[in-house]
Amino acid sequence: MSEKLPIALDAMGGDYAPAAMVDGAIQAAERGIAVTLVGREDQITKELVAKAGKNWHVLPLNVVHAADVIGMDDAATQVRSNKQLSINVAVNLVRQKKASAVVAQGHTGATLVSALFGLGRLAGVERPAIVANFPNAKGRVTLVDVGANADNRPEFLQGFALMGAAYTSTMQGIPDPSVGLLSIGEEEGKGNALVNETFDLLKNTPGIRFFGNVEGRDIFKGTVDVVVTDGFTGNVVLKTAEAEAKVLVGWIKEALTGGSWLVKLGALLVRPALRSVGAKLDPAEFGAQPLLGVKGLVFIGHGSSDAKAVYSALANAQKAVDANLLEKVAVKLEGLTKKLGADA
Amino acid sequence: MSEKLPIALDAMGGDYAPAAMVDGAIQAAERGIAVTLVGREDQITKELVAKAGKNWHVLPLNVVHAADVIGMDDAATQVRSNKQLSINVAVNLVRQKKASAVVAQGHTGATLVSALFGLGRLAGVERPAIVANFPNAKGRVTLVDVGANADNRPEFLQGFALMGAAYTSTMQGIPDPSVGLLSIGEEEGKGNALVNETFDLLKNTPGIRFFGNVEGRDIFKGTVDVVVTDGFTGNVVLKTAEAEAKVLVGWIKEALTGGSWLVKLGALLVRPALRSVGAKLDPAEFGAQPLLGVKGLVFIGHGSSDAKAVYSALANAQKAVDANLLEKVAVKLEGLTKKLGADA
């Protein structure tokens, strides 16, 4: 493992930073994943000593100092002016080939800006996109973009489709994933102006197996492997779906604990079975979502990430490094750059 | 009850027409709701006799003949040319004050076009909208528009906000409902161009209590009473949420029936408690969603409606008639017409 580059973890971003980040990094390091913790050295070292003892450096962990951190309410544009922000230092480690990937649970907009300006876009990419992947009736589904782009053009979505397909084949092991375009009707011509223009583009995009339009229900039915949408709709869908799962699980818990003693006995007996369903839905199992389209691997986690979520994010990032996700995405986009070249 | 106008039910639209429609109408009639079944008289009468006997006409039911029906794959524009379509005949009964409302489970686009051209728009309405209302962590939430408008302008959403507020106060009994604008960030200025322009409009719209932006998660958290969005995003959210609930319930069933005999015993004991959660989520409990903004009450149900869903839709429509929903919506829009008048 020693020849592997570490993953740069922004240890200062997120609701439970730096404690949860240090904890998650230790869990990852114990499983052989090398991590560079980026942030205030004194705070991080103190946490490391408290949690892994004075000999913490026998683990594949190191600390790179960054004096500042961007607050959740700060403007993302601060990233442009302050080189000492932990997210900028982390991104810089990837640019300098001192880290294989960035994992960040802080200010999403700041991470986007830092990655975009620190690493630059891959050839053929109009806009980077955030990719989510979650369980559905038939296995898992990839949804892209889930929030990097509020206003969109058809060419953006064309890139999302290619990046989503590359992600799904590389990370989910589906060789030639089907790609659906999220709309409000299945037939060609149903949907808004953006969808209709994008439909025409995707029909003629080499490198994807385009299924056609899909509807909201198809995300959970598992009609296609990849669902492409603008970052506004995708973000709303992702956040709605997460909250719905939480509310439904809460109702079930309430129903099982609020009833008669017979119901309570039954609840005791079914608890392990229900726990497996709960685990399926736990975002902490997932950890973080990749930002694709920049020249480096960047994973964005929930602000509310606990140590388990941080560990999952690091493990997921290491899996992407080992699977060569960045190169696979770049290759997938080559069709577009060639087409662009031919057009010119 | 006899002085009340009947509700016009399109007996030919929907996957299980006319059987489910006749069945649902009988259930409603037995509870005192008068229904006019619109469609092929011979088919409907045959079903009536089969299900309620030769004396079916002692119930507050009657049949109005319509020779044709629009197929689910037909173009909605057919509605303009064929007066004998059951949906056109049903809408016409409302226009002629021979029915108090329309309930239709067939081709949604056709119902929209028929209502828009058959009844016309209420003063102040740029575009009619479909309103959905469903359970969440704090009670219920109204989401508007859920699919009448694929491409939107800020003025459309302003109307949706007013109509959604009128619906929520009238039908859900919330006197001064809070209204949120669906976006991908809570702060003003977060979101796409449509949201940002709409935000400015809603801030200055009399007659609504504007909360500001809300995110996807707020729909299920219950942050506001009414969530306003464009018909594209709203439709995607509604269909995603419905499918997710189905998939989660399926997983739970699977977990409870696939385990050891102890789990199976537990499942038996908790079944009634879980059934109450399932009932909360059953779209058939809800029945149909109103199309607001036209000069008449029109309720649009799922194509897959069974008899229970048809009954619920009729009961919901009757509740809207009794509560004077149409007038309440018209009054709520008066602020807009006055403003428009002042602008002119």
> Closest residue of B to A149, CA-based?
B192
**A88-100 pLDDT tens trace:** 999 999 999 999 9
| pLDDT of res. A279 | 79
Query: What is the pLDDT of chain B when averaged over all its residues?
Result: 93
Q: Does B2 touch chain A (CB under 8 A)?
A: no
Please state, as a whole number, how many other Cβ atoms lie within 10 Å of the Cβ of residue B129: 31
ipTM of the complex: 0.92
Task: Please name the member of B182, B235, B255 whose beta carbon is closest to the beta carbon of A274.
Answer: B255
- Decide if A244 and B241 are in contact by the 8 Å CB cutoff: yes
Q: For strand A129-136 and strand A139-144, is the pairing parallel, antiparallel, or unpaired?
A: antiparallel
- Decide if B274 and A252 are in contact by the 8 Å CB cutoff: yes
Please give, rounded to a whole number of angstroms, the shortest distance from the CA of B11 to a CA of chain A: 24
Q: Does A49 touch chain B (CB under 8 A)?
A: no
Q: Does B255 touch chain A (CB under 8 A)?
A: yes
Nearby residues of A46 by Cβ (< 8 Å), 6 or more positions away: none
| pLDDT of res. B285 | 66
For the whole model, what pTM was predicted? 0.93
Residue A288, strand partner residues = A301
- Decide if B265 and A266 are in contact by the 8 Å CB cutoff: yes
Q: Does B280 touch chain A (CB under 8 A)?
A: yes
Q: Which of B186, B218, B244 would best serve as a mutation to test chain A binding (most A beta carbons within 10 A)?
A: B244
Q: Does A261 touch chain B (CB under 8 A)?
A: no
CATH number of A1-125+293-324: 3.40.718.10
**A193-210 pLDDT tens trace:** 999 999 999 999 999 999
**Residues of chain B found within 8 Å of residue A112, distances taken between Cβ atoms:** none
d(CA A191, CA A197): 10
Confidence of residue A316 (pLDDT cuts 50, 70, 90): very high
Task: Please name the member of B136, B147, B192 whose beta carbon is closest to the beta carbon of A150.
Answer: B192
Instruction: Give the architecture-level CATH label for domain B127-283.
Output: 3-Layer(aba) Sandwich (3.40)
The side-by-side arrangement of strands in the sheet containing A139-144 is: A61-65, A35-39, A7-10, A101-104, A297-301, A288-292, A129-136, A139-144, A226-228, A178-182, A209-214
Please give, rounded to a whole number of angstroms, the shortest distance from the CA of B251 to a CA of chain A: 7
| pLDDT of res. A330 | 97
Retrieve residue B155's tokens.
């003025």
| pLDDT of res. B286 | 67
Please give, rounded to a whole number of angstroms, the shortest distance from the CA of A1 to a CA of chain B: 39
Task: Please name the member of B147, B266, B277 whose beta carbon is closest to the beta carbon of A268.
Answer: B266
Q: What share of chain B is helix, strand, coil (3-state, %, to 5)?
A: 50, 15, 30
| pLDDT of res. A260 | 87
**B179-192 pLDDT tens trace:** 999 999 888 888 99
Tell me what percent of the residues of chain A surpass a pLDDT of 70: 95
Q: Does B279 touch chain A (CB under 8 A)?
A: no
In the predicted structure, residue B2 carries a pLDDT above the cut 80: no
Q: Domain ranges in chain A?
A: 1-125+293-324
Helix axes A19-30, A307-322, angle to 10 degrees: 50
Q: For strand B35-39 and strand B61-65, is the pairing parallel, antiparallel, or unpaired?
A: parallel
| Side chain identity at residue B324, one-letter code | N
Task: Please name the member of B192, B238, B262 whose beta carbon is closest to the beta carbon of A232.
Answer: B192
Nearest alpha carbon to residue A281 among B194, B315, B244 = B244
**Residues of chain A found within 8 Å of residue B215, distances taken between Cβ atoms:** 235-236, 239
Q: Which of B188, B199, B274 would best serve as a mutation to test chain A binding (most A beta carbons within 10 A)?
A: B274
Q: How far are the Cα atoms of B22, B39, B91, B197, B313 from residue B43, in angstroms, in the given order?
A: 10, 8, 20, 51, 22
Task: Please name the member of A183, A221, A258 whose beta carbon is closest to the beta carbon of B243.
Answer: A221
Q: Does A75 touch chain B (CB under 8 A)?
A: no
Buried b (16+ CB within 10 A) or exposed e, A240-267: bbbbbbbbbbebbeebbeebeeebeebb
> Closest residue of B to A74, CA-based?
B187
- Decide if A136 and B247 are in contact by the 8 Å CB cutoff: yes
CATH number of B1-125+293-324+340-344: 3.40.718.10
**B110-141 pLDDT tens trace:** 999 999 999 999 999 999 999 999 999 999 99
Tell me what percent of the residues of chain B surpass a pLDDT of 70: 95
Query: Poorest-confidence range of A140-144, B266-270, B282-286, B337-341?
Result: B337-341
> Closest residue of A to B107, CA-based?
A185
**A35-91 pLDDT tens trace:** 999 999 999 999 999 999 999 999 999 999 999 999 988 888 889 999 999 999 999
**Residues of chain A found within 8 Å of residue B231, distances taken between Cβ atoms:** 184
In the predicted structure, residue A341 carries a pLDDT above the cut 70: no
| pLDDT of res. B284 | 62
Buried b (16+ CB within 10 A) or exposed e, A119-158: bebbebbbbbbbbbbbbbbeeebbbbbbbbbbbbebebbb
- Decide if A269 and B263 are in contact by the 8 Å CB cutoff: yes
> Closest residue of B to A191, CA-based?
B150
